[in-house]
Chain A
Amino acid sequence: MTRWSDRFPDNLRARRIKARIFRIGCSVLTWLSVALLAVLIYHVTRAGIGWLDWQFLNSFWSRRVTEAGIKAGLLGTLWLVSITAVLAIPIGVAAAVYLEEFGGRSRVNRFLDINISNLAGVPSIVYGLLGLALFVRWCQLGSSLLAGGMTLALLVLPVVIIASREAILAVPKSIRLAAFAIGATRWQTVRYHVLPAAAPGIMTGIILSLSRAIGEAAPIIIVGGATMIFFTPEGPMDEFTALPLQIYNWTTDPKQQFQELAAAGILVLLCVLLLMNASAVYIRNRAQKSRPW
């Protein structure tokens, strides 16, 4: 009769309190990170909002704070992210499809697997050095948008592959089996069933990794992105600058007001990021609705 109370001594109250403390602790830590973001945004907005106008968006670097703008950086970043997307998406998705659908579990594939995961952890500056040696010097592309975009594509590729693999993996096995059962080839299965079903996840992964790419300064500096530029890029072989470089440059200026300009630059960067993330959410929601299960 006393068996249960022997095994569970009478401390239910204490255990409940512990559980409560744990729950409160977790929620405090969660809110802490949100609060940090809020503080950051508050400070940046307070310093930068006064400078944020059309003139700022539509002007080049200037020694005069009232005439300085972020046009070259903004367009440079848009060019860069487009080139990165064009290169990284097909290669990354193709690699993920191969590894998940065609690769099997051979020793070579496991070797590929481990290396891709490792690449995702390599610091971005190392990709910058690789880009400098490979694209800028060896391929003779110079410090061009193309070299910068290719470097960023290398940087995001592992993340695109991993995110795409996860999305493909999440497609239920039954979908594939059903396709095979009515005589579809593996290619048809992938093309008409697996990829459409995995698309929302893949796109989310792509946009998040591209968002990371536009915030990178280190590899762009190494590849030779300029800081002060007085023209808008017209093609992939043009010299360029990017938003993070402009922001960094203004923070090092002796004049206090340029540091407020840096805050305005950060706001522009945040807006671009927010737009990209919002479009990721939108695309995911829309694609999920049309999913058959």
Chain B
Amino acid sequence: MRRSVRITVEILLASMVGLAGIDSAGAGEKVSGSIRIDGSSTVGPISAAVGEEFSKLNRDVKIAVAISGTGGGFKKFSAGETDISDASRPIKDAEAKKAKENGIEFIELPVAFDGISMVVNPANKFVDKLTVEELKKIWAPESKIKLWSEVRTGWPEKPIHLYGAGTDSGTFDYFTEAINGKAQACRADYTASEDDNVLVKGVSGDESALGFFGYAYYVENKDKLRIIPIDGGKGAIAPSDDSINDGTYSPLSRPIFIYVSKAAAERPEVAAFVRFYLEHAPTLVPEVGFVPLPAEVYKLARERFEKGVTGSVYLGKDTTGKKLEELYKGS
């Protein structure tokens, strides 16, 4: 036992010596401290990619990104346990109230777009598109649809097997709200997983499958899946970088956010990190499979952060169909 402890100490010492050799030249202002980030598994990789680049320039800042889901992240954030919360949907009223009770003020910053992609198995040739009404018919809480022919007349009388994001994910919240009109309202008899790779495997191995999950997972598995264009009333549109960015892939594209604690934002290392985040998001966001926001929105977000505007633009307002530019302009 004593021996293995000594080996541990030796490895630790060796690694510290190794790190000491690298100086933080290249960083603008020298900052140190620690930044604790938690929340959505969708946004996590973006924050981590920013953290990766930021810590290359600022070796003295300790960045830790944890993944507890959007809801779990807000729980810790509103208890003051984290500095930044990753969120794949806007903060909910109850979560904002909880934060207020604990004296936590937050700055809401959009960082990227995510498109929820609807996919079928490549062997399925008959589904050309789906309208929002058809999706609602399939996914509504009271839905009894078991066959493709029940979705649209003319489609074969074959069974339909459903796959989708698990109930703890922001993806599920957003999908159910966009399609069924109410977050969390959904039929329960589908294959659910918090792990989108499980869903990719399921759909790619099941000819009767219809599934939904994050756009990044479709992009990485294009050869195993067939994307279904969605008709939200203005013609069928498939998710792509362009259609997500200009808002035409509606209603299944969504902005994703980080929430920065106001108190944490006053610490120089957190402020430097957030500035770095908004500045480098346009190049880092696509690298991890998401669509960057228009440059205008990053500029508005930066202004919002510098002015220290707290609160969410989504609370107590009807925001459906509004572009991010309109929501954040002058706020």
A-side residues, CB < 8 A to B, are 58, 60-64, 71, 75, 78-79, 81-82, 85, 89, 142-143, 203, 206-207, 224-232, 234, 238-241, 249, 251-256, 259, 275-276, 279, 283
Contact B65 A227 (CB under 8 A): yes
Q: Which residue of A is nearest B9, CB measured?
A: A82
Contact B34 A254 (CB under 8 A): no
Which candidate, B90-98, B217-225, B264-272, is the interface stretch facing chain A? B217-225
Is B145 close to A, CB under 8 A? no
Cβ distance A195 to chain B, nearest Cβ, rounded Å: 14
Which candidate, B44-52, B128-136, B300-308, is the interface stretch facing chain A? B44-52
Is B197 close to A, CB under 8 A? yes
- Interface SS of chain B: helix
Contact B41 A252 (CB under 8 A): yes
20 contacts between A and B (CB under 8 A): A61-B48, A61-B52, A79-B12, A85-B5, A142-B81, A224-B76, A227-B44, A227-B65, A228-B52, A230-B64, A231-B63, A232-B15, A239-B36, A239-B62, A251-B195, A253-B197, A254-B214, A254-B289, A259-B197, A276-B4
Contact A227 B5 (CB under 8 A): no
A residues in contact with B3, CB < 8 Å: 279
A residues in contact with B219, CB < 8 Å: 254
Cβ distance A112 to chain B, nearest Cβ, rounded Å: 26
A residues in contact with B12, CB < 8 Å: 75, 78-79, 232
Known: A78-B11, A252-B195. A63 touches B52 (CB 8 A): yes
Cβ distance A205 to chain B, nearest Cβ, rounded Å: 12
Contact A230 B67 (CB under 8 A): no
Contact B62 A230 (CB under 8 A): yes
Cβ distance B67 to chain A, nearest Cβ, rounded Å: 5
A residues in contact with B11, CB < 8 Å: 75, 78
A143-B66, A224-B76, A251-B197 are known contacts; what are 15 more A-B pairs with Cβ within 8 Å? A60-B52, A60-B55, A61-B48, A63-B288, A71-B15, A81-B8, A143-B36, A224-B66, A227-B67, A228-B64, A230-B55, A230-B62, A239-B36, A252-B195, A254-B221
Contact A239 B34 (CB under 8 A): yes
A residues in contact with B41, CB < 8 Å: 252
Q: Cα distance A89–B4 when bound, in Å? A: 14
B residues in contact with A275, CB < 8 Å: 4
B-side residues, CB < 8 A to A, are 1, 3-5, 8, 11-12, 15-16, 18-19, 34, 36, 38, 41, 44-45, 47-49, 51-52, 55, 59, 62-68, 76, 81, 195-197, 200, 214, 216-217, 219-221, 284, 287-289
Q: Cα distance A230–B48 when bound, in Å? A: 9
Q: Cα distance A63–B5 when bound, in Å? A: 32
- The 8 residue pairs across chains A and B that have the minimum distance between CB atoms: A226-B64, A228-B48, A230-B55, A239-B64, A254-B220, A226-B66, A228-B65, A63-B49
Residue of B18, B19, B197, B214 with most chain A CB atoms under a 10 A cut-off: B197
Contact B62 A231 (CB under 8 A): yes
Contact A85 B45 (CB under 8 A): no
Q: Cα distance A232–B62 when bound, in Å? A: 9
Q: Cα distance A283–B3 when bound, in Å? A: 11
Q: Cα distance A225–B67 when bound, in Å? A: 9
Known: A75-B12, A229-B65. A252 touches B196 (CB 8 A): yes
Contact A254 B216 (CB under 8 A): yes
Known: A75-B15, A232-B15. A82 touches B5 (CB 8 A): yes
Cβ distance B131 to chain A, nearest Cβ, rounded Å: 27
Cβ distance A216 to chain B, nearest Cβ, rounded Å: 16
Give which listed residue, B66, B76, B197, B216, contacts A225 with CB less than 8 A. Answer: B66
Contact A79 B8 (CB under 8 A): yes
Q: Cα distance A225–B51 when bound, in Å? A: 17
B residues in contact with A142, CB < 8 Å: 81
B residues in contact with A226, CB < 8 Å: 36, 38, 64-66
Q: Which residue of A is nearest B5, CB measured?
A: A82
Contact B65 A63 (CB under 8 A): no
Known: A63-B287, A239-B64. A82 touches B8 (CB 8 A): yes
B residues in contact with A251, CB < 8 Å: 195, 197
Q: Cα distance A196–B65 when bound, in Å? A: 46
B residues in contact with A259, CB < 8 Å: 197
B residues in contact with A64, CB < 8 Å: 287
Contact B4 A231 (CB under 8 A): no
Known: A63-B288, A255-B220. A229 touches B1 (CB 8 A): no
Q: Which residue of A is nearest B216, CB measured?
A: A254
Give which listed residue, A63, A203, A229, A238, contacts B45 with CB less than 8 A. Answer: A63
B residues in contact with A239, CB < 8 Å: 34, 36, 62, 64
Cβ distance B81 to chain A, nearest Cβ, rounded Å: 7
Q: Which residue of A is nearest B47, CB measured?
A: A228
Q: Which residue of A is nearest B8, CB measured?
A: A78
Q: Cα distance A79–B12 when bound, in Å? A: 9
Known: A79-B8, A232-B16, A254-B217. A203 touches B63 (CB 8 A): no
Known: A63-B49, A78-B12, A254-B196. A231 touches B55 (CB 8 A): yes
Residue of B64, B221, B287 with most chain A CB atoms under a 10 A cut-off: B64
Q: Cα distance A255–B15 when bound, in Å? A: 29
B residues in contact with A254, CB < 8 Å: 196-197, 200, 214, 216-217, 219-221, 289
Q: Which residue of B is nearest A231, CB measured?
A: B62
B residues in contact with A203, CB < 8 Å: 1
Give which listed residue, B15, B48, B68, B197, contacts A252 with CB less than 8 A. Answer: B197
Contact B19 A232 (CB under 8 A): yes
Q: Cα distance A206–B196 when bound, in Å? A: 38
A residues in contact with B15, CB < 8 Å: 71, 75, 232
Cβ distance A88 to chain B, nearest Cβ, rounded Å: 11
